[in-house]
Amino acid sequence: MKRLASLVRVGLRSNFGLSLLRYRVFQQKKDLWLVPVMGLAVFGVGSLLYGYLSLIKGFYGILKAMGQEQAIPGFVLLMGQFLILIFGLYYVISAFYFSRDLEMLIPLPLKPSEVLLSKFTVILVNEYLTMAPLVLPMLISFGALSQAGWGYWINGLAVYLLLPVIPLCLVSVLTIGLMRVVNLGRKKDVLIIVGSLVLIVLGFGFQVMVSRSMNADPDPQALAKMFASPDSILNRIGRNFPPSIWAAKALAGGFSRSGLLNLALFAAVSAACFGVILVLARKLFYGGLIGVGEISGRKKPLTAREMSQKISSGRRPVKAVFLREWRVMNRTPIFLINGILTAFIIPLIFVIMATMGDRGGDGAFILRALTSGGSPATSILTAAAFMMVCGCLNGTSSSTFSREGKQFWMSRVIPVSPREQVRAKFYHSYLVTLLGIATSLAVLLVGLKLKPLYCLAGLGLALVGAVGLTAVGMTIDLARPLLEWTNPQKAIKQNLNVVFGMLADMGLLALVGYILFRLSAAGVRPAGLVLIALAALAVLSWLSWRFLMSLSERRYQEIEV
């Protein structure tokens, strides 16, 4: 137990690095630029939090009148577990099989279960942070609205701590089995990516199944019968994944017999899943590690002419650096899954939301209402914001330099100026952003049936605004790149620069949205609002680009590897 505790403590310190950040900001005074960035982020997060809490309050009033208010925690807890099921896959694959510290841990006198459980605990802590923005506001606001007693709050803490365990165990079981099979072949990277895609598709398929089950029996008699029964909506939401029902009833029941029984059932199933992980750790974990670091080279030798073409291709520097970025991203499964695939996953989540409810429209009713109702300006601006969010929230730009890790010294010595390198990296990050924008555009056109003219206008705004948001993310990562990481996952998902970049993007969009809202209230015409938004995004993009270029020359000389 002492060895396991030591492993967990070391893993958490390596994972977050908050002590180093505190030292650099308050002692060395080096990262003071984070203060205004955090201020901007607080503004953006505050705006989103206000809207989320208002939504919960509105739904509570409606469902309370029907005696179905428990459906709120049931749905949010189910969504929290679904997010963990999808995004926890990245953490598990990286931490279990691509962490560089495994080379040091395996020779030590440690049991496979101790190594795996230490990493599982670190992942668990990360998932508490992942689901916090979704689950914690609901727990607090629902408890306040229902005037819950001590039983609710204590059970709420227990439910929050247990919530990620079951989905993480499911992902871990599938990952351990996948890696045990993958290492039997030579094309491990391809198999890992394909296997990850299969797991993601299964997760989305499960969510679609849940949403379809909520839409069954639409006739009036069935609806009347459903609403007459207490907790019928809750049972309907979670009948394909009962742990969400147990968690919601544990919250509602408090210290009553029903609440304690559901909490005990939730805890028992979580413990059983945890026990399965222990068994697999002893039998399969180290077996899946065999051959992970091997690289299968090409058997065909290069001729002198082919070698000459390889080393003197005559490519322009910007094109050469761009291709290097693209190949590194595609050849590293964790970078590919977290970067490029996330650009597709975020819009797909909205597709699933759009399939919920009667005839597939009520789950995303807010986005649908903003894009299809009201003035054309509202539809265009909302569509543009949606495309920018889906395009820029993949962490590619704000991990551009961190992904190089200790190999950054190569970028300092190659005969390419820092400006040209940064320009090539920008093109790569912007291309990934375009993938997210294109996918979200398809969602707006096909899923939400937005008018093509509105989509085209929103696309123009999104393309301009994405330049600034991409440059902001790259600037944050260039200012404090995370080059010391033990596994590729840390360069993206466990990189505070990615968090700062996302928060800064949300803050900038919220600030522009607030300005447009005030101008609309002052009587500015819809066409004027769109033109003002275009001008504001263009100025933001120009300033961000110029600052990034001016920063590149100085930072490339200052960064130490």
Percent of the chain scoring above 70 in pLDDT: 65
Half-sphere exposure of 139 toward its Cβ, with a 13 Å CA cutoff?
A: 25
d(CA 433, CA 456): 17
Q: Average pLDDT over the chain, rounded to whole?
A: 76
Flag whether the pTM goes above 0.75. Answer: no
For residue 339, the Cα-to-chain-centroid distance in whole angstroms is 10
Q: Residue 68 burial (CB < 10 Å; 0-12/13-18/19+)?
A: buried
DSSP summary character for residue 245: H
pLDDT value at residue 213: 54
d(CA 2, CA 289): 25
Query: What is the average pLDDT across 427-432?
Result: 92
Least confident residue range of 51-65, 325-339, 379-393, 403-417 = 325-339
Taking only the tens place, the pLDDT of each residue in 241-296 is: 788 888 888 888 888 888 899 999 999 999 998 888 878 777 665 555 555 455 55
d(CA 235, CA 521): 43
The dihedral through the CA atoms of 520, 522, 526, 527 has a sign that is negative
Taking only the tens place, the pLDDT of each residue in 451-497 is: 889 889 999 999 999 999 999 999 988 888 888 776 677 777 777 78
Domain ranges of the chain: 67-216+229-292, 317-561
pLDDT value at residue 48: 73
Nearest to 343 by CA among 451, 490, 424, 443: 443
The residues near 554 (Cβ < 8 Å, ≥ 6 apart) are none
Are 354 and 360 spatial neighbours (Cβ–Cβ below 8 Å)?
Answer: yes
Q: At residue 348, does pLDDT exceed 60?
A: yes
Paired tokens of 230: 């207490």
Nearest to 132 by CA among 186, 100, 202, 84: 84
Taking only the tens place, the pLDDT of each residue in 182-235 is: 554 455 556 566 666 666 666 666 656 655 555 555 555 554 555 555 566 666
